[in-house]
Amino acid sequence: MEQVKVWLNEKDIPRQWYNLGADLPTPMLPPLGPDGKPIGPEMLAPVFPMNLIEQEVSTERWIDIPEEILNILYRWRPAPLRRAVFLEKFLDTPAKIYYKDESTSPPGSHKPNTSVPQAWYNKQFGIEKLTTETGAGQWGSALAFACQLIGLKCKVYMVRISFDQKPFRKIMMQTWGANCIASPSDQTNAGRKILAETPDTPGSLGIAISEAIEEAVTDTSGKTRYSLGSVLNHVMLHQTIIGLEAKKQMKMIGAGTPDVIIGCAGGGSNFAGLSFPYVADKINGADIRIIPVEPTACPTMTRAPFAYDFGDTACTTPLLAMHTLGHAFVPPPIHAGGLRYHGMAPMVCQAIIEGLMEPRAYHQLASYEAAVTWARTEGFIPAPETSQALAAVIDEAKKAKEEGKEKVILFNYSGHGLMDLLGYDAYLSGKLTDYELPEEELQKYTKELEKLPKAEVRKTGKW
């Protein structure tokens, strides 16, 4: 029997985060203000504390992780590296399938890797309350968890359709002492405006972001800030602890450098967390294929243009250069999983443009099929988001069999699906259908981007 779990001792936890920004072959395009000009750090100050803004714009390669943050992460980190020997056997593949198990955190996903540092830096900066948005609830519960442990108030605007359909995530947040309300709400101008126009709206992440930011910037005490669970540079930074741990663990068992790295990508953070430390190796010549996976229902990386766009529906954020379906994009309700954000982390996008990554999209039926295969071989029930990655993992393992090649696959098991079982019910009872965003829908939303400053595509052409 092969060893299936690789532990890393607490004392061996990485003590620095890795900043891909220091190594990207071409620098990223700067965020733009409402006037179309690059913004300075001070323009973000009403939204984020300055210590996090410094991380957001940092070009340092390594950034120290404060000991107090590590002391909180120890509750579940270092996370196990596991090998999927039972799936390998089922697929009869020569591929070795390793994964970082990020489902072991108290909120059940990789999200607290950044919610904890974000809450901690805010607290250090004198902030007393954080606001945020959440879709399926992974991020909201991760921030609620972090704020509870660090001693901050927490207010979560949860997309209405999820608020109604997933009461358990709300209870989780309340158990950790947070205030969770449905978005759009009557507590912000942005929310009231949308409710007046479309009282029955299911809500969207873009709307919820607008509300959360509004609450933060309009608090006259100056003691409230906003927190984002993905997309931004400092979020990617915090998540790199995943890949840095994985490298140590792969080394411990002599598993070498992976041939393929896979992660699902909605805003990009869990994928970036695992892959960025390996992207650095690839920049330096390592032969690694790096595959971010998204749903065909929300095909940001595979079909959307690279453009400047707002991060939220109400157009209150700075403009970010990224692959985007347009800030007005509303994901189809037919899609059962997460990964519904209209944009993608600019740092991931720049790596894609450089050719360092090979994005791929899967239908939801394929991803649920992969999820059930996983549950019935490995035993654990994955999050619907994670299942997108699993679909690609299984395809790569099958390809290895066809080619008769030994291959090392490493992927990120970003979270468990215990809070998302209704999607499994829909799949198992045949109620789910495939969905691919129609071209006319794509055109409709992305057409709006032409009114915004154009993003220049810059690449070295080396990869």
For a second copy, the binding residues (CB under 8 A) are 1, 3-5, 7, 9-11, 67, 70-71, 74-76, 86, 104, 106, 108, 145, 148-149, 167-168, 171-172, 174-177, 372, 375-381, 418-419, 421-422, 424-425, 428
Phi/psi at 246 (5° precision):
-55, -45
The beta strand positions in 184-310, using DSSP E, are 224-226, 260-264, 289-295, 306-310
Kindly state the smallest distance separating residue 69's Cβ from a second copy, in Å: 12
Q: Determine how many CB atoms are found less than 10 A away from the CB of residue 37.
A: 10
Phi/psi at 206 (5° precision):
-60, -40
Contact 391, 367 (CB under 8 A): yes
Query: Between 9 and 220, whose beta carbon lies closer to a second copy?
Result: 9
Kindly state the smallest distance separating residue 248's Cβ from a second copy, in Å: 15
Retrieve residue 321's tokens.
Answer: 């250069």
Cα distance from N-terminal residue to C-terminal residue, the chain: 39
Query: Between 62 and 74, whose beta carbon lies closer to a second copy?
Result: 74
Q: Give the CA dihedral 256, 262, 265, 270, nearest 10 degrees.
A: -30
Q: How far is CA 287 from the centre of its chain?
A: 25
Query: Between 37 and 251, whose beta carbon lies closer to a second copy?
Result: 251
Q: Using alpha carbons only, what angle is made at residue 299 by residues 294 and 303, rounded to the nearest 5 degrees?
A: 130
Contact 242, 412 (CB under 8 A): yes
Element (H, E) at 171: helix 167-175
Q: Determine how many CB atoms are found less than 10 A away from the CB of residue 312.
A: 25
Kindly state the smallest distance separating residue 141's Cβ from a second copy, in Å: 10
State the DSSP code for 32.
B
Kindly state the smallest distance separating residue 427's Cβ from a second copy, in Å: 9
Find where tokens 């009282």 sit. 199
Q: Which residues have a Cβ under 8 Å from the Cβ of 186 and sit 6 or more positions away?
A: 192, 195
Kindly state the smallest distance separating residue 174's Cβ from a second copy, in Å: 5
Give the strand order in the sheet containing 81-83.
5-6, 81-83, 95-101, 407-413, 260-264, 289-295, 360-362
Kindly state the smallest distance separating residue 327's Cβ from a second copy, in Å: 33
Query: Between 45 and 426, whose beta carbon lies closer to a second copy?
Result: 426
Q: Which residues have a Cβ under 8 Å from the Cβ of 247 and sit 6 or more positions away?
A: 277, 278
Retrieve residue 1's tokens.
Answer: 């029997």
Angle between helices 112-124 and 50-57 (to 10 degrees): 130
Query: Between 67 and 440, whose beta carbon lies closer to a second copy?
Result: 67
Query: Between 242 and 419, whose beta carbon lies closer to a second copy?
Result: 419
Kindly state the smallest distance separating residue 258's Cβ from a second copy, in Å: 22
Query: Between 43 and 426, whose beta carbon lies closer to a second copy?
Result: 426
Query: Between 71 and 198, whose beta carbon lies closer to a second copy?
Result: 71
Query: Between 126 and 379, whose beta carbon lies closer to a second copy?
Result: 379
Kindly state the smallest distance separating residue 245's Cβ from a second copy, in Å: 14
Kindly state the smallest distance separating residue 58's Cβ from a second copy, in Å: 27
Angle between helices 364-377 and 421-428 (to 10 degrees): 100
Retrieve residue 443's tokens.
Answer: 């055109």
Kindly state the smallest distance separating residue 263's Cβ from a second copy, in Å: 22
Query: Between 241 and 361, whose beta carbon lies closer to a second copy?
Result: 241
Kindly state the smallest distance separating residue 154's Cβ from a second copy, in Å: 12
* Spatial separation of the C-alpha atoms in residues 416 and 381, rounded to whole Å: 6
Q: How far is CA 103 from the centre of its chain?
A: 14
Query: Between 193 and 248, whose beta carbon lies closer to a second copy?
Result: 248
